[in-house]
Structure 1
Amino acid sequence: MEKVEWHDVQGLVLSGYPQLPFSAYVPWRLREGEGAAARTWLRSLAGQLMRAGPNDTDDDTPTDGAEDGRAGPHIRRLKGGGGEVVREAVNIAFTASGLRAFCGTGGIAPFSLEFVEGMAPARDGAGRPSRRTNVLGDLGQSSPANWEWGGWGGNDAIDGLLMLFAPDATGLEALLARQLAAMAPVAVPLVAPDSGGPLVLPGRVFDDRTEHFGYRDGISQPIIEGSPKAHRHRDDAEARRVHFVKPGEFLFGYRNERRVRSGTDDLRRNGSYLVLRQLEQDVAAFSDFVARAAAALPDDEPDASKREWIAARLVGRCPDGRPLAAPADGTTAGDSEAAPEQDNDFLYYYNDRFGLRCPIGAHIRRANPRDTKGPDPDTALQLSKMHRLIRRGRMYGERFDPARPEDGGRRGILFMAFNADIAGQFEMIQHSWLNSRHFGDLHVGTDPIGHFADDDDAVVIQNRPVNIVVPRPKPFVRVRGGAYFFLPGIDAVRRLAG
């Protein structure tokens, strides 16, 4: 097992900072002619970045990181004015143009075409969208033409992303003010289309850790070999089999599942590609669809139970996070008393091959097919590890109030994912699994809670004696913005600063 240089990896790779539930994401662009000052700013910022591990390369003792929800010792603690302890975290990422500004065109030569072109390449001379836009399914309302940032509307000149985390709103406001003041001479945030002020994307982790559709989020995450969590689960054979993934799938400089190592001696070492997409959720439309689908079911169940039954089969989990598919020990899904994050070692092939518990087209089954996409279950499980993502998404907007379905509020997910191969991980999952109407030998339907849908899209729920097929008139999610970034190692940030 390779030893990862966690002291040089930015902390967000290893931890979602759940103990810092308030966050702000600031996409920025550099001012022209401020190269020397920009390097000074970046050099200062490098010393503030949250690390994934202690700054001691000789320490072999694993530490309890926060990747599983617990505060770890490498969360920076700063003294506030009143002597109280204030916890906060700062991380930074760059687009291809931002890296080019600091290291020149030659410096970004090793980076992938997907990263260099960006998430929303310009349309051709005839106004047709790029191949990448089609691959991602960013069409119709989710077209980059309709994005508020990062798309084709003029708010797309992005050089980097500043990510800030704090334990409460007051702490976040102070942290944001300090960081904006420090960057003001050399970089400016994008412009918010609604207010004309700085574009700051707020993020939250709600107390119950659910997203706006009402389902607990972020349960199933890969366990990186060589991480503190891997050390804690080293004696759990099933967890190792199902969840352990080699660090090279997420970090450059280490072997991936193909036993290939890249980025060992350039700026990519200890860094990762970061995918950021602002996904707006239409909770009222989702609730209405669930209610109409439930009304079509037999009358031997209460309406509330039927709505929960339908919604769970769109997601693949119950609202509290329990998986519909049977866990690996063979107990019936939902009967286990284990916490959702402890009830995650399930596989599909032997326990639910035909989707009678968790529909084949359910969201979590499409996003991570586990042992079903290959010539045999063992090979399929190994192949699926080549397409895993580390997700660090957060909610934005206020909770939906059913008593005020027309409140006009904006809410959704700031989807964030780390991977070392944008084409083979994020884009492949999006195109070949989530957006595909032929996933798992289906012939209709796409991801039930995704942003892409065919004209005749439908949700198929495997059932006996016949399947349940419910037309889906439109997606409940639309893309509002997005970009591809690179999150460098801390040493690489210092090298960029010169």
Structure 2
Amino acid sequence: MDKVEWGDVQGLVLSGYPHLPLSAYVLFRFRPQSSDAARRWLGELASRLMRAGQGDGEADNGSAGPHLAALKLATGSARHAINLALTARGLGQLPVGAAALKDFSVEFVEGMAPPPDATTGPSRRTNLLGDLGDSSPATWAWGGWNGHAEIDGMLMLFAPDRLALTSLVGDELAAMAEAAEPLRVTATGGDDPRLLQGEVYDDRKEHFGYTDGISQPVIEGSPRARRATPDDRRIHHVKAGEFVFGYANERRGRATGAGPSELKRNGSYLVLRQLEQDVAAFQAFVAQAASLLGGTEAAADKEEWVAARLVGRTRAGKPLALAPPHSRDPSDPVARHSGGNDFLYYFEDRFGLQCPVGAHIRRANPRDSKGPDPDTALRLSKMHRIIRRGRMYGERFVPATGNGADTRGLLFLCLNADIAGQFEMIQHSWLNNRHFGDLYVGSDPIGHAQVDDGAIVIQRRPTNLVLQRPKPFVRVRGGAYFFLPGIAAVRALAG
């Protein structure tokens, strides 16, 4: 097993900073003719970036810069985290970065939303991601085709409360002032158009009401991996090279990070997408679908039954694959395994009678259900895992307050070492695929892509239940591909 140089890896790879629930994401452009100022800023910033660990053999005296272990003990103004990511455009404006761009993937260099062709229309990537219709890059607030595509990087700031976040944002904007300017976008989660603001709510739920962030891969060799159960290791442990450059991956290869690609070492690709959620439409659909069910259960219980089968978990987070078959009771106990996440599908629910084959969590991570045999399928699925670091934006939906017209949603962030084989593959081949798991219609029930007039198939006996979603409940409002460099790489870019 490779020994990961955690002291050179940015902290976001190992932690979503749950104890720093407020965050701001500053999309920026380098100022024209500011190469010297940009490099000075990066050199100063490198010492403030949160690391995943200490450097080998270094004492915990702060000399190596902030790291996750020290963050747990931090108080006052030291209780915050800063991370940095750059686009291909941003790397290209720095001498060291421009020379290394040939070693980066085509997906990263082209970006999430390549301009459309005047003759053939949207690019292959736009079609592959399903970014069409209301989710077309032509409609995005940033990162799309309407003049806000020129993004050089993103500064990610995390703090424990609003006052601390405001102070941190002010300090960092002042520090970058000569080198870069924030991109002004439609404000989310606040009234400052320079910021995308995110939040982890106290109940850990997203706007549709589901507990979020339950299932994450565990990087082999990480501190969390040493505390795992045998089931956890078998199902969730993934080699470091799937997420961090320079280490062995699940393909028995090595995520390139040495030699000519030394700049990539200990770095990762970061995907950011702003996903706007239409909570009112989602709730109306669930209520309408519940009205089609027979039986004598209360309407609220029927709605929970439908909602659970769209995602594959109850809103409290219990996986349906471990629940008694055919039950509509959302309070059915699930007492197995660590928090109800160490489960598989092949033997426990092969035909989707408990967790529908097309449910969101089954599409996003098929575990052992897609392959010639369950062991091979589980190994293959590990080649496509991503680490999610998303946060919510906007106020909670409360119909009685009249805030239904307000915008809200998810700032989806994920980390991977192969954009095409991980994020894009999940999006195209699993979430948006009408034939996923031998289905014949439909896409991800809570995704932004609409196929087959929004058909959603829920397996049950004696016949399947087929619902029609009038329109997607989610709309893409912005997006970009970034590179999250290692600390040494940030210093190299500053040289």
TM-score tier after normalising by the smaller chain length: over 0.9
Q: Is 2:25 the partner of 1:33?
A: no
**Inter-partner Cα distance in structure 1 for 2:48 and 2:448:** 36
In structure 1, the residue matched to 2:62 is none
Q: Is 2:89 the partner of 1:97?
A: yes
Q: Is 2:258 the partner of 1:264?
A: yes
In structure 2, the residue matched to 1:231 is 226
Q: State whether residues 54 and 74 of structure 1, in contact with CA within 8 Å, keep that contact through their aligned partners in structure 2.
A: no
Match of 1:172 among 152, 165, 180: 165
After superposition, the C-alpha distances for 1:150-182 in whole angstroms (9 at most, x for unaligned) are 000101110000000000000000000110111
**Inter-partner Cα distance in structure 1 for 2:106 and 2:401:** 45
Counterpart amino acid of residue 224 in structure 2: K
Q: Is 2:419 the partner of 1:422?
A: yes
Judged with a 3 Å threshold, the aligned counterparts in structure 2 of structure 1 residues 408 and 127 are, in CA distance, closer, same or farther, namely farther
**Inter-partner Cα distance in structure 2 for 1:194 and 1:240:** 41
Q: Is 2:312 the partner of 1:316?
A: yes
Q: State whether residues 76 and 88 of structure 1, in contact with CA within 8 Å, keep that contact through their aligned partners in structure 2.
A: no
The alignment partner of 2:204 has SS state of: coil
Q: State whether residues 5 and 57 of structure 1, in contact with CA within 8 Å, keep that contact through their aligned partners in structure 2.
A: no
Unpaired stretches in structure 2, ≥5 consecutive residues: 60-66, 324-328
Judged with a 3 Å threshold, the aligned counterparts in structure 2 of structure 1 residues 468 and 157 are, in CA distance, closer, same or farther, namely same
Q: Is 2:200 the partner of 1:208?
A: no
Shifted more, 127-136 versus 282-291: the winner is 127-136
Could you tell me how far 1:376 is from its partner in structure 2?
A: 0.5
Counterpart amino acid of residue 54 in structure 1: Q
Counterpart amino acid of residue 472 in structure 2: P
**Inter-partner Cα distance in structure 2 for 1:74 and 1:268:** 26
1:481-492 correspondence to structure 2 within 5 Å: 481-492=478-489
**Inter-partner Cα distance in structure 2 for 1:338 and 1:58:** 42
**Inter-partner Cα distance in structure 2 for 1:20 and 1:358:** 33
Q: Is 2:184 the partner of 1:191?
A: yes
Counterpart amino acid of residue 207 in structure 2: H
Counterpart amino acid of residue 85 in structure 2: A
In structure 1, the residue matched to 2:18 is 18
Counterpart amino acid of residue 202 in structure 1: Q
Match of 1:132 among 114, 119, 125: 125
Judged with a 3 Å threshold, the aligned counterparts in structure 2 of structure 1 residues 203 and 449 are, in CA distance, closer, same or farther, namely same
**Inter-partner Cα distance in structure 2 for 1:400 and 1:337:** 29
Counterpart amino acid of residue 213 in structure 2: G
Q: State whether residues 26 and 161 of structure 1, in contact with CA within 8 Å, keep that contact through their aligned partners in structure 2.
A: yes
Q: Is 2:70 the partner of 1:74?
A: yes
In structure 2, the residue matched to 1:374 is 371
Q: CA RMSD in A?
A: 2.1
Q: State whether residues 219 and 225 of structure 2, in contact with CA within 8 Å, keep that contact through their aligned partners in structure 1.
A: yes
After superposition, the C-alpha distances for 1:121-143 in whole angstroms (9 at most, x for unaligned) are 01112260000000000000000
**Inter-partner Cα distance in structure 2 for 1:36 and 1:78:** 33
The alignment partner of 1:352 has SS state of: coil
In structure 2, the residue matched to 1:220 is 215
Q: State whether residues 50 and 76 of structure 1, in contact with CA within 8 Å, keep that contact through their aligned partners in structure 2.
A: no
**Inter-partner Cα distance in structure 2 for 1:416 and 1:190:** 18
In structure 2, the residue matched to 1:65 is none
Match of 1:283 among 279, 286, 290: 279
Judged with a 3 Å threshold, the aligned counterparts in structure 2 of structure 1 residues 408 and 382 are, in CA distance, closer, same or farther, namely same
Aligned length: 478
**Inter-partner Cα distance in structure 1 for 2:216 and 2:379:** 15
Counterpart amino acid of residue 287 in structure 1: Q
Give the TM-score normalised by structure 1: 0.92
Shifted more, 119-128 versus 136-145: the winner is 119-128
**Inter-partner Cα distance in structure 1 for 2:97 and 2:247:** 25
The alignment partner of 1:325 has SS state of: helix
Q: State whether residues 26 and 201 of structure 1, in contact with CA within 8 Å, keep that contact through their aligned partners in structure 2.
A: yes
Q: Is 2:241 the partner of 1:245?
A: no
Judged with a 3 Å threshold, the aligned counterparts in structure 2 of structure 1 residues 337 and 367 are, in CA distance, closer, same or farther, namely closer
Counterpart amino acid of residue 181 in structure 1: A
Judged with a 3 Å threshold, the aligned counterparts in structure 2 of structure 1 residues 405 and 350 are, in CA distance, closer, same or farther, namely farther
**Inter-partner Cα distance in structure 2 for 1:466 and 1:317:** 22
Q: State whether residues 96 and 485 of structure 1, in contact with CA within 8 Å, keep that contact through their aligned partners in structure 2.
A: yes
Judged with a 3 Å threshold, the aligned counterparts in structure 2 of structure 1 residues 204 and 341 are, in CA distance, closer, same or farther, namely farther
Could you tell me how far 1:199 is from its partner in structure 2?
A: 2.6
Q: State whether residues 284 and 405 of structure 1, in contact with CA within 8 Å, keep that contact through their aligned partners in structure 2.
A: no
Judged with a 3 Å threshold, the aligned counterparts in structure 2 of structure 1 residues 455 and 238 are, in CA distance, closer, same or farther, namely closer
Could you tell me how far 1:75 is from its partner in structure 2?
A: 1.6
The alignment partner of 1:484 has SS state of: strand
**Inter-partner Cα distance in structure 1 for 2:192 and 2:207:** 26
The alignment partner of 2:143 has SS state of: coil
Could you tell me how far 1:365 is from its partner in structure 2?
A: 0.2
Counterpart amino acid of residue 115 in structure 2: A
In structure 2, the residue matched to 1:113 is 106
Could you tell me how far 1:105 is from its partner in structure 2?
A: 3.1
Could you tell me how far 1:186 is from its partner in structure 2?
A: 1.1
**Inter-partner Cα distance in structure 2 for 1:17 and 1:138:** 30
The alignment partner of 2:43 has SS state of: helix
In structure 2, the residue matched to 1:495 is 492
Counterpart amino acid of residue 52 in structure 1: A
The alignment partner of 2:48 has SS state of: coil
Q: State whether residues 393 and 409 of structure 2, in contact with CA within 8 Å, keep that contact through their aligned partners in structure 1.
A: yes
Could you tell me how far 1:193 is from its partner in structure 2?
A: 4.3
The alignment partner of 1:16 has SS state of: coil
Q: State whether residues 325 and 333 of structure 1, in contact with CA within 8 Å, keep that contact through their aligned partners in structure 2.
A: no
**Inter-partner Cα distance in structure 2 for 1:299 and 1:334:** 17
The alignment partner of 1:350 has SS state of: coil
After superposition, the C-alpha distances for 1:425-472 in whole angstroms (9 at most, x for unaligned) are 000000000001110110111000000011522111101111111111
Q: State whether residues 460 and 468 of structure 1, in contact with CA within 8 Å, keep that contact through their aligned partners in structure 2.
A: yes
**Inter-partner Cα distance in structure 2 for 1:275 and 1:349:** 30
Unpaired stretches in structure 1, ≥5 consecutive residues: 60-70
